[in-house]
Amino acid sequence: MHASRAKISNRNNNLAPAGFRERIETSSVMNYELLGKTGLRVSPLALGTMTFGTDWGWGASEDTARALFNTYLDGGGNFIDTADVYTNGTSEQFIGKFMHERNARDHVVLATKYSFNAAPGDPNAGGNGRKNLLRALEGSLRRLQTDYIDLYWVHAWDTVTPVEEVMHTLNAAVESGKIRYIGLSDCPAWYVARAQTIAELRGWERLAGLQLEYNLVERSIEHEFVPLALELGLGICVWSPLASGLLTGKYTRDNLRDGRLKAVQGSGNPSFARITAKPRNWEIVSALNDIAKETGRPAAQIALNWIATRPGVSAILLGATKLEQLKANLQVLDFALPAELSARLEEVSRPELVTPYMFYGPEMQAMQTGGAVVSHEPLWLRAS
């Protein structure tokens, strides 16, 4: 989808004031893109705010979070992502306060999520159903000090709520004006396809995007979700592009140091525990560190640049607890990784080709085409 975001388009720049043109030419964060098949303009680098608040034993204090928020907006970013459960609601509260302080609500593309339980023991205080969706939405609006959400995500599939109920309730919330756009996070590909098809057939609000984990040590979405997103017009927003910090270059197999990666190991969340458990992941880290040395750039910048420019990706979520981390990461689209180095990362991190996806590769497809090259469209059609 994105051949090279490092090349910033100057189309129509001559129509903008000089100072604005300078910001565009020096910051690829300002090179906005449409989210999926919508008219919503978003920064390709979004600010992930699971780090806002220290309620979970790590993260950023209010003053640090405010500095991160302001630095991101001052750098041209406009896409803020949070969730009702992040730091027990503190993340949303901080964002609401910061937007109010800057009078920035209309400028910000504000995304939040619902699904996880807010009252243990009460089955209707969690899940994807209508009762919890509307409860969670009202709570988020209150904490965020706003009367509408730009992008509302289903945080995770609950396995039981009928998809028709979810999509109908989301559509009603859009029609009420409390939500502008909708998306799914951490749902099966078949569920996403069914949800989008139902919305199209019934004239309901269509899904705008998918939020999924994607990084050099977790590339399984390439099997099905990336083709799905390209086919159905969904923008992929990537969470954990640095694998909870594993790909920053500061960790070794024998020393996780103090920080988020060490803190989350005992959280009971399997998505965190597996990060350091696979020996292959440390081989990827080693290759990444070698390339960082060759290029003279931080390992985090290399890892973020590589994932941000993959097919189907609309935005990556940058999470930070320190201002210098965010400033460095806002530069990740200001360079192009040499093709040979990108290929090395692709090879060392290539996901296992499991069934049935092995049938869709060039070797097996040649058995259908008789060895001829067949493309679904001319290769030049989307060239820029």
Catalytic residue among 72, 86, 114, 214: 86
> How far apart (Å, rounded) are the C-alpha atoms in residues 13 and 21?
6
One-letter amino acid at 282 equals W
d(CA 119, CA 68) in angstroms, rounded, equals: 30
DSSP characters over 33-87: EE-SSSS-EE-SEEEE-TTBSSTTSSSB-HHHHHHHHHHHHHTT--EEE--TTGG
- Residue 110's Cβ-side half-sphere holds a number of Cα atoms within 13 Å equal to 27
Q: Which residues contact 66 (CB under 8 A, 6 or more apart)?
A: 94, 98, 101
Please name every residue paired with 153 in a beta bridge, in sequence order, or none if there are none: 113, 183
Rounded Cα distance, 360 and 364, in Å: 6
Active site residue 86: yes
Backbone angles phi, psi at 136, to 5 degrees: -65, -40
**CA atoms in the 13 A half-sphere facing the CB of 251:** 23
Please, what is the angle between helix 279-295 and helix 339-349, to 10°? Answer: 170
Looking at residue 215, what DSSP letter applies? B
Distance CA 339, CA 4 (A): 11
Q: How far is CA 217 from CA 189, 223, 246, 297, in A?
A: 20, 14, 9, 20
**Which positions are annotated as active-site residues?**
86
